[in-house]
Amino acid sequence: MDAVAKPKRRTRYHRQPTGKHVTPGDREVVWFRKLWQHGPLPTGYLHAYTRDLTPSLGVVKNRLGDLYHENSTPHGGAYIERPSQQNSVITKYQDAVYEADSAAEQFLKERGLIPHTSFPCQKTNYPHRFMVPCITASIELACRDAGITFTSSAELLTRAPSGELKVPLTISHKGHYTDTPLVPDAYFGLRYADQRVRAFLVEADRENEPIARTNLDQTSYLRKILQYRQLMENGRYKDHFGIKTGMVILNVTTSFAHMEHIIAKVMELTEGRGCNYLLFKVCPNFADKLIVPSVLSELLTTPWRRAGHADMDISRP
């Protein structure tokens, strides 16, 4: 009897459709929404979002493979993409990373699950574009176990008069000026069990910019600190975002040394008073040697450093 040949394993970064017809269900709705909401996410994160629907990680991997490879769908194409940039920074032994393709966006729009005008996707600087979704999705997933409600940027920005994350600001320092707008990496809100609410902005820092430059038009952490001080200390954030609640800024960097340098700069700029709304934490996974992390629940469950103030537990109101 002739041996039955095993089907060849499909390559990770080149679509190889087999003609299988793929129709999304409840599980896929969750995946598409989270990829649209956060950005590129690893397999393990998508599994965590639908663990109650599909406990098996193997089943999830196979289904994600079909959603990536197969183009026989009601929307005429594959639903998800594997960002090609990850091929050079993520090895085949790590989880694959996915993002929503145009077919998934069309699927969500038809069901009224996302606006018909969606935000443009930044296709450059893949490691940074991957770091930010891991931060926000990790916090959202940890919130589910903590009885905290996570509110996405898309929902919160409907309350902002401008509808934009970008904040027009003019800052000065030692005779230098710039009107370069502040553009946080992410924005979300948490509603705690007692119904109190807090808003958050995120700065994801892979140490690709210096702490300070004399020219404020060039990006630096000095410029960011000055911009956030102006945004926060005169209450301008409430007007820009259309909110009444408190806000803090989560700064995630990739080494403890770099974090300490930023904190030292905050102490210098505040003349030793410190700052209670700038929070700091280190995630080495996103350094030059990029490592796909498991869900970073500690971003919610462990305290954040502050300059000149006690650590802050954002899991509590």
pLDDT of residue 83: 81
249 touches 228 (CB < 8 A): yes
One domain for residues 159 and 95: no
One domain for residues 62 and 152: no
Q: Which of 110, 144, 174 is the last residue of a domain?
A: 110
72 touches 21 (CB < 8 A): yes
The number of folded domains in the chain is: 2
Q: pLDDT, tens digit, for every residue of 208-225?
A: 889 998 889 899 999 999
Q: pLDDT, tens digit, for every residue of 48-90?
A: 999 999 999 999 999 999 999 999 999 999 999 998 766 555 5
One domain for residues 64 and 152: no
One domain for residues 157 and 211: yes
Whole-Å CA distances, 210 to 97, 176, 206: 29, 17, 11
pLDDT of residue 3: 47
Q: Which residue's entry shows tokens 């443009």?
A: 120
For residue 152, the SS3 value is coil
Phi, psi of 281 (to 5 degrees): -155, 155
Its pTM surpasses 0.85: yes
Domain that holds residue 81: 26-110
One domain for residues 181 and 206: yes
245 touches 199 (CB < 8 A): yes
One domain for residues 261 and 290: yes
Q: pLDDT, tens digit, for every residue of 102-141?
A: 999 999 999 999 986 654 455 567 889 999 999 999 999 9
One domain for residues 149 and 93: no
CATH number at residue 102: 1.10.10
Whole-Å CA distances, 230 to 28, 32, 35, 76, 216: 42, 37, 32, 48, 14
pLDDT of residue 188: 98
Task: Confirm whether 317 is domain-assigned.
Answer: no
One domain for residues 184 and 35: no
Can you tell me the distance from the alpha carbon of 19 to that of 110, in angstroms, rounded to the nearest whole number? 24
Per-residue confidence band for 246, with pLDDT thresholds at 50, 70 and 90? very high
Task: Confirm whether 169 is domain-assigned.
Answer: yes
Residues sharing a CB contact under 8 Å with residue 150, sequence separation 6 or more, in sequence order = 139, 140, 143, 188, 189, 190
Task: Confirm whether 11 is domain-assigned.
Answer: no
One domain for residues 272 and 191: yes
Q: Which of 52, 78, 110 is the last residue of a domain?
A: 110
One domain for residues 251 and 161: yes
One domain for residues 94 and 219: no
108 touches 33 (CB < 8 A): yes
Q: pLDDT, tens digit, for every residue of 253-309?
A: 999 999 999 999 999 999 999 999 999 999 999 998 888 999 999 999 999 999 999
Q: Which residue's entry shows tokens 């393709």?
A: 101
Task: Confirm whether 295 is domain-assigned.
Answer: yes
Q: Looking at the predicted structure, is the pLDDT value of residue 1 above 70?
A: no
Amino acid identity of 151? T
Question: Where do the H-state alpha helices sit in 25-125?
Answer: 26-38, 43-49, 57-69, 102-110
One domain for residues 141 and 185: yes
Q: Which of 54, 83, 110 is the last residue of a domain?
A: 110
